[in-house]
Homo-oligomer: A and B are copies of this chain.
Amino acid sequence: MQMQQADRLQGLKYPADPIQRAWVAIQRMGPALLERVEARLKDAGLPALEWYDVLWALEREGPLRQRDLAANMLIARYSISRLIDRMEADGLVERRECPEDARGQVVHVTEAGLALRQRIWAVYGPAMKDALAALTEDEALQLAALLIKLGC
């Protein structure tokens, strides 16, 4: 198999300055953990997490407009447009007319989409747990609280 250099996390140094240290840690660990998890999805022949996010948002909140999906996922409109193109081509979602705004469309999940989400979660859930296994539950909550503070 190829490399996996995102797991060369051991020898890396961090700045001493608190702000810089936090910044580097966030920007380094986010992608590294993501790569670990996505590698397991790929090994299982499953699509990337982006697809999961769409499917889960639709299952959780019901049919949504592309605009709202974009807002949920913090990605650009044109990205959603093309992501939904691909997912629709795979039969996971459907675009339907939007009654109260003729510009818009409403995205619905299909049965196949629901089924795929479950198959992804069966791998994603455990992989996420493993990725964060070094933290206790309290620490995980602390970490989340600190990060969420940054969004406000």
Partner-B contacts on A (CB < 8 A): 3, 5-6, 8-10, 12, 14, 18-34, 70-72, 74-77, 128-129, 131-132, 134-135, 137-144, 146-152
Q: List B contacts of A19 (CB < 8 A).
A: 128-129, 132, 137, 140
Q: Are B74 and A28 within 8 A (Cβ)?
A: yes
Provide 10 A-B residue pairs closer than 8 Å at the C-beta atoms, listed in order of the A residue: A5-B75, A22-B135, A22-B140, A25-B143, A26-B29, A26-B33, A132-B150, A134-B149, A135-B150, A143-B146
Q: Are A3 and B77 within 8 A (Cβ)?
A: yes
Partner of A22, one of B6, B144, B151, B152: B144
Q: Are B75 and A143 within 8 A (Cβ)?
A: no
